[in-house]
Chain A
């Protein structure tokens, strides 16, 4: 692979990942937009929590769980004539769980019971990285629908970046857990063996038996969906390893996100998943490292009066001009400290992937399709 252009043209699924606040969602949207503009076909961006303004910019009222096509007007505003179609959808965790239960429940009665279980709502929000799992599950579903040539998916901001990679496996493990069976056993048979008796005595004292029974009922209902769940989790896993899927690690050059990005790169390698590209966001301009510019900035700091004297008088009151010149020099040197630190990080990360693309520090926010294209063009070739 030699460029993002190539990468997007040849894959069916692109997963963007990285730590929170690095512009992951925006990058995913930009990549999808560029693919729709240049490559054609049907492109879907599946996002987790987009800025409302970004949704508005795409001409959408809001991102919903249902895929919506980005209208021609949004493209026209950005002076773009897309060869293909751009679709957008958001991950609605609750809705997706409900759908999943509907699909896997053996009958309507079980389905209704699960949805009515007092724990269900809580559990779908918090249950073993349910968010991570459901994101991957929904990706699988959309891919299997065969409606899209390319799906760009933005991953949830996980505490630990690799959580979602392991989510399908964990979900399968969870449902096949011996511990779970053991926990549920007495509620099935009402017969406690000697080994588990102390546990239930303590558990009853701590949590109250009603609560335990609620939990037990919930998991027993879920067990009826065991086969479907595990099978699906394995399929999701296979899809992620498939060569049609590629991962794009997004990061800024701040220390903490870089650390996470590096960790992520290693995690992908260890799992034999394909790292397609690293996208560096908010990279400070290269001229901050320029030697001549440093000379100029230092001079402005050290001798603003000398420089001011050489300038025409109509520029402004002398003392003010001196202060402005000094500020200009000092500001440059300030940003240079950060730029140098970042250059070092960039050098380290550069070796990680075949494609490393840098997005300059845009001084205004991205809030329309034009902005997405601007970002996209920075990384395209």
Chain B
């Protein structure tokens, strides 16, 4: 029996750009906090718009509580390094020496995996120290997330000795434990997002030890008509009814009918991609559905709606 999604300790939320990754990460955090879990949501992919979804000021490296039990932070590898030096090496003064910090920053940019390990290390540390019940990561888009999840292994292979290597062991234990860590893949029911999600699941399985916890399909269109109703709809569209419509509606019905046809076709196209997604994954992998929101903006109100939809899917 797999561990319930919100009972894990560390969730990486990823997906192709534009599918609503940040919305889902924000909503999962909101839901978890409401369900009484002390939650941290961390944005890694520094677009800096996570807090737009909560309508609060921008997040910084120091976590801030934005609602009861809901904390937000933005990853900053330089800050993470300073914290690490201070905490792990007991070197608070050295970490402040200008050129030293700059050189480390430079090294973090240049050396493979250093930035990633500083990111994942900080997140894992929050989990290990039990500062929160759940850490939700608004992770980088599909292509980059594997590098991050693999970082401890990569460092472990590249670095033979030293304190960084010593730190990778416990981190790999947390990441590799499905009871603690999981990846949530967000997809919209469209061609490229589905294709990329399927590829990503394969890569995570082949290249990392991290468990894929769930897929969230975002922006699912409502089904307008059942089969019998669709026949009625088709008859309504016949031109002979245009006159009746025009007189009873006080305006031509054509654009309204056309909009419904567009909605029906879109829904059908998307169903095709959904089926492809379902057929391509392990049938035991949970898939959660979030409806398309017809809203004016993607602020807190929309985040609430997504949280409610996810809550319903998770049985809360």
Contacts and interface: CB of A to CB of B under 8 A. Distances in A.
Contacts of B110: 123, 127-128, 174, 180, 215, 219
Contact of B269 (A160, A285, A363): A363
Interface stretch (A98-106, A304-312, A349-357): A304-312
A202 B94 CA distance: 9
A23 B277 CA distance: 20
Interface stretch (B64-72, B130-138, B188-196): B188-196
B251 A292 contact: yes
B297 A255 contact: yes
A208 B250 contact: no
B316 interface: no
Interface of B is mostly: helix
Contact of B160 (A119, A122, A210, A310): A210
A271 B259 CA distance: 42
Contacts of B313: none
Contact of A323 (B99, B158, B229): B229
A101 B234 CA distance: 62
Given A285-B259, A287-B258, A329-B256, A122 B113 contact: yes
Interface in A298-336: 299-300, 306-307, 310-312, 315-316, 320-321, 323-325, 327-329, 331-332, 334-335
Interface residues of B, number: 81
A174 B110 CA distance: 9
Contact of A206 (B99, B162, B225, B248): B162
Contact of A285 (B163, B233, B262): B262
Contact of B259 (A128, A203, A287, A365): A287
Contacts of A21: 16-19, 192-193
B231 interface: yes
Given A204-B162, A208-B159, A295-B250, A315 B103 contact: no
Interface in B1-56: 16-19, 22, 45-47, 49
A320 B229 contact: yes
Nearest to B188: A21
Contacts of A328: 224, 233, 236, 256-257, 259-260
A337 interface: yes
Contacts of B22: 256
A324 B244 contact: no
Interface stretch (B140-148, B176-184, B209-217): B140-148
Contacts of B102: 179
A299 B247 CA distance: 12
Contacts, number: 230
A321 B49 contact: no
Given A20-B18, A299-B249, A127 B235 contact: no
Nearest to A328: B260
A341 to B, nearest CB: 6
Given A122-B154, A324-B236, A205 B147 contact: no
Contacts of A340: 296
A183 interface: yes
B220 interface: no
A193 interface: no
Given A211-B162, A331-B260, A296 B190 contact: no
Interface centre among B235, B255, B263 (most CB of A within 10 A): B255
B244 A208 contact: no
A257 B250 contact: no
Interface string A284-297: 01011010110111
B62 interface: no
B106 interface: yes
A207 B193 CA distance: 38
Contact of A296 (B89, B256, B296, B298): B256
Given A296-B250, A320-B232, A331-B259, A119 B112 contact: yes
Contacts of B158: 118-119, 122, 211, 214
A207 B147 CA distance: 19
Contact of B255 (A211, A214, A290, A307): A290
A254 interface: yes
A215 B191 CA distance: 41
A310 B247 contact: yes
Given A159-B45, A257-B18, A300-B256, A126 B162 contact: no
Interface of B: 16-19, 22, 45-47, 49, 85, 89, 91, 94, 97, 99-100, 102-104, 106-107, 109-113, 140-141, 143-144, 147, 154, 158-165, 190-193, 195, 222, 224-225, 228-229, 231-233, 235-236, 241, 244-245, 247-253, 255-260, 262-263, 265-266, 269, 294-298
Given A119-B111, A174-B110, A337-B295, 19 more contacts: A19-B18, A159-B47, A179-B103, A199-B103, A202-B89, A208-B164, A210-B160, A211-B111, A254-B18, A256-B18, A292-B252, A295-B249, A296-B245, A296-B249, A299-B251, A315-B235, A316-B235, A321-B236, A328-B233
7 contacts: A123-B110, A290-B255, A293-B259, A327-B224, A329-B256, A335-B294, A363-B266
Q: Which 7 A-B pairs have the closest CB atoms?
A: A20-B17, A21-B18, A208-B162, A122-B112, A287-B255, A292-B251, A293-B255
